[in-house]
Chain A
Amino acid sequence: MLQEFADWVTYTLLGLAQGTPLASSVNFFVYDSIKVTVMLAVIVFLVAIVRTFITPQKVKKWVAGRTEGVGNVVAAVLGIPTPFCSCSAVPLFIGFVESGVPLGITFSFLIASPLINEVAAAMLLAMFGWQIALIYIVSGLIIAIVAGIIIGRLHLEGEVEEFVYKVKLHDLAEKVMTWKDRLTFAKNESRDITLKVLPYILIGIAIGAVIHGYAPADFLVNIAGEDNPLAVPIAVLIGIPLYSNAAGMIPILEVLTSKGMAMGTALAFMMAVIGLSLPEMIILRKVISIKLIVIFAGIMFGAITLTGYLFNAILG
């Protein structure tokens, strides 16, 4: 139905001739932007309902006192629906460490929270299908769990600024929400987030549409195809300092993969962009040493690069 609407806009409403690059670009733009927007609004709504049950305060209680392994898994899973703004990293970190959550488990949460994000998952689902969306979520979880365990094993507690252990927290009483509150919250979140990322999506799809219509299909095979072993680490290295909206990037990735970029390389690039950011690392310096930040970034680089190679091998 959606494809028919896109065809109607392209060929009937705008009267473009079938088979021309312009028609192909316009058709792609109309189809993708509607599909992605609807899917995004629905998924953000559903995740927002789940989120009303999982506050950081509760997460802290659920993971405190758990052992390595189980604790990392629980922390990573709970990180999925929990939103993350890089400026929340510090209070979140202090809150976890102060209530006795081990460092490795704290990192599993801190990694999973931005790395696995519902906007990215929704867009992958809309543009690449459920298999790729699932691969993204599962690999994000594994990275968060394994990286957390490694950081835990390295015993880096001494790399945390001393004041963190001395903070005395005030335990906040949480308001009990009714179902009506939850639905209102989810409706507002869905509207706010969708409207906020929509401009990025449209720009991303527009750039993608131009490439889609004009670039030849094997455009990127040599640079970013499976046969270039350096493509994955380079994509990840470029992605780490970038702090972009996943929403704007996925439409471009969709087109890049159709022009020859390997899927694993594309996924690794996306994960590097949303999972790690320069502002977050700078702000974390307030609570942990540069050494720990470098270790953290290094482990993430290795984990995401490995994941990219793995997917290129499996999906290729």
Chain B
Amino acid sequence: MMMKIQVFGMGCRNCHQLEANVKQAVVKSGITAEVEMVTDPVKIAEAGIMMTPALAVNGDVVTMGRVTSVQEILELLAEVR
């Protein structure tokens, strides 16, 4: 099953940084994953997120309110796999 990674944020600099980190981590890990940016505030709130940027893997929110580093994302992806 293809992994689904979502980056939640309304488009601030931190959100774009997180998106870039995620894409870099995906390339490094060699897995195929779908990366989606969620910018709709209603969808962000519905997911239970109150601090952006946030990161979800296969629907589970794993980090909130900070720019997760490439290294940390790699570890998170390894855990899920």
Interface string of A82-104 (1 = CB under 8 A from B): 01011110111011101000000
What is the size, in residues, of chain B's interface with A at 8 Å between Cβ atoms? Answer: 22
A contact residues, range: 20 to 34
Contact check, B41 vs A287: say whether CB atoms are below 8 A apart. yes
With a cutoff of 8 Å between Cβ atoms, the chain A residues found around residue B12 in the complex are 85-87
Nearest CB in chain B: distance from A47 CB, A: 14
Q: Which residue of B lies closest to A189 (CB)?
A: B66
Is the Cβ of A91 less than 8 Å from the Cβ of B45?
Answer: yes
| A56 interfacial contact with B, CB 8 Å | yes
Residues of B within 8 A of A83 (CB): 51, 65
Report Cα–Cα, A213/B58, bound state, in Å.
58
Contact across chains for A283 and B10 when beta carbons are under 8 A apart: yes
In the bound complex, residues from chain A placing their C-beta under 8 Å from that of B64 are: 55
Q: Is B57 an interface residue (CB 8 A)?
A: no
When distances are taken between beta carbons in the complex, the residues of chain A under 8 Å from B8 are: 91
CB distance from B72 to the nearest CB of A (A): 9
Please indicate the chain A residues that have their CB under 8 angstroms from the CB of B11 in the complex.
87
In the complex, which of the residues B10, B49, B53, B65 contacts A172, with contact meaning CB atoms closer than 8 Å? B49
B9 lies within 8 A of A167 (CB)? no
Residues from chain A with a CB closer than 8 A to the CB of B10 are 87, 90, 283
Given contacts A94-B42, A167-B42, contact A87 B14 (CB under 8 A): yes
Q: Would you list which residues of chain A between 241 and 269 have a CB under 8 Å from chain B?
A: none
Complexed CA–CA distance, A22 and B76 (Å)? 52
A3 contacts the other chain (CB 8 A):
no
Q: Given contacts A172-B61, A286-B41, are A88 and B50 in contact (CB under 8 A)?
A: yes
| Cβ B41 vs Cβ A56 within 8 A | no
B39-63 CB mask vs A (1 if < 8 Å, else 0) is: 0011011111111110000000100
The reply to whether A98 and B50 contact each other, CB–CB distance below 8 Å, is no
Within 8 A of B (CB), among A274-316: 283, 286-287
Are B51 and A167 in contact (CB-based, < 8 A)?
no
Q: A83-B65, A85-B12, A283-B10 are in contact. Are A92 and B51 (CB under 8 A)?
A: yes
A residues engaging B (CB < 8 A)?
Answer: 55-57, 60, 83, 85-88, 90-92, 94-96, 98, 163, 167-172, 283, 286-287
Q: Which 9 A-B pairs have the closest CB atoms?
A: A87-B12, A172-B48, A94-B45, A56-B50, A170-B48, A95-B50, A90-B41, A91-B44, A87-B10
26 A-B contact pairs sorted by A residue (CB < 8 Å): A56-B65, A60-B50, A83-B51, A85-B14, A86-B12, A87-B14, A87-B52, A91-B41, A91-B51, A92-B51, A94-B41, A94-B42, A95-B45, A95-B49, A95-B50, A98-B45, A163-B42, A167-B42, A167-B45, A168-B46, A170-B47, A171-B48, A172-B47, A172-B48, A172-B61, A287-B41
| Inter-chain pairs besides A57-B48, A167-B45, A167-B46, 10 sampled, C-beta below 8 Å | A83-B65, A85-B51, A88-B51, A88-B52, A94-B41, A95-B45, A96-B50, A169-B45, A172-B47, A172-B48
